[in-house]
Structure 1
Amino acid sequence: MSDNCLFCRIARQEIPAHVIHEDDRVLAFLDIQPVRPGHTLVIPKQHYPYYEDMPADLAAHIVNLGQKLGRHMKRLYGVERVGFAFTGIHVAHAHAHIIPMHHVQDLTSTQYIEQQDLTFKMPPQPPQEALATVAAQLRGEMAGSS
């Protein structure tokens, strides 16, 4: 783990997070600036700057967890589709975003935007109580299945 990496610090529990799932290899927690309620990040506990640096079995473990979370999110949020993407844009620690998609634009590429030179901003951060409620709902869904 890296001493100053934000996600390594979250994995070491030095920074609080609304945890959805934890095992010996990965940690899943709510994004504090969610695109939609339930927007979850899955990180390997070991530091890998890029997703392609991870061992294939670890990447598969993250994808499998994402699939399980996606099925629960569909039920919980009444959505037809859940987006999954490995990224590393804002934090140089491999991570996956799992996002319940209420609209097709909830997870997309800027290549689909006709206007150029747009200014983007981070989504607002919900109150901690709202994040805690969402995390508890998702943990409950995960606990009720195998």
Structure 2
Amino acid sequence: MREHEEPGCVFCAILRGEAEASIPYADDRVMVIMTIGAVTPGHLLVIPRVHAVGLEDLDEETSTHVWRTGHRMGRALRRSGLRCEGVNIFLADGKAAFQEVFHLHLHVFPRFKEDGFRIEADWGTRDRGLLDRDAEAVRSGLAALGSPD
């Protein structure tokens, strides 16, 4: 991973100071910007300073800091004076998950009644046998990752 060096990446350009951004918070590992394509007023993006396309490309320490910052930003939104009756924290990892900018970023945005944002899906109930099989597949994936230490 390289620190904000990916040519053509709008978030790397923002991190380099070459593109405009409204920045409520920044530290040595992340920058938080107000997104121009906001779901609601106050919609934030937490962006790591290293270029990582998705979760697979980001080290766990940086990822943990991204999520910790997202948590803090959600709490800040509730105290901001912006309309905020709830908070969504959302990460899209890959095109199939609706990622549009391929520099990992965590969405944090205030929610309120009738704000128009919806997540539509078929929320059907899965059979226990299928859930057990899925759990085994995830355990296999964890084993392939190895120990987190």
TM-score (norm 2): 0.68
Higher CA-based Rg:
2
The yes-or-no answer on 1:101 pairing with 2:111 is: yes
Q: Which runs of 4+ in 1 moved over 4 A?
A: 104-108
2:129 maps to what in 1?
A: none
Structure 1: which 5+ runs fail to align?
113-146
When structure 1 is superposed on structure 2, of 14-23 and 44-53 the one drifting more is 44-53
Q: How many residues align?
A: 113
Structure 2: which 5+ runs fail to align?
94-98, 123-149
Structure showing greater relative contact order (alpha-carbon pairs closer than 8 Å, 6 or more residues apart): 1
The yes-or-no answer on 1:80 pairing with 2:85 is: yes
TM-score (norm 1): 0.69
Cα offsets for 1:11-64 (capped at 9, x unmatched): 111001001111111110000111111000111111000123211111111111
Structure-2 separation of matches of 1:105 and 1:14: 33
Change in Cα spacing, 1:104 to 1:98, as seen in structure 2 (3 Å) is farther
Seq. identity, %:
31
Aligned CA RMSD, in angstroms, stands at 2.2
Contact 1:99 1:107 in 2 (8 A): no
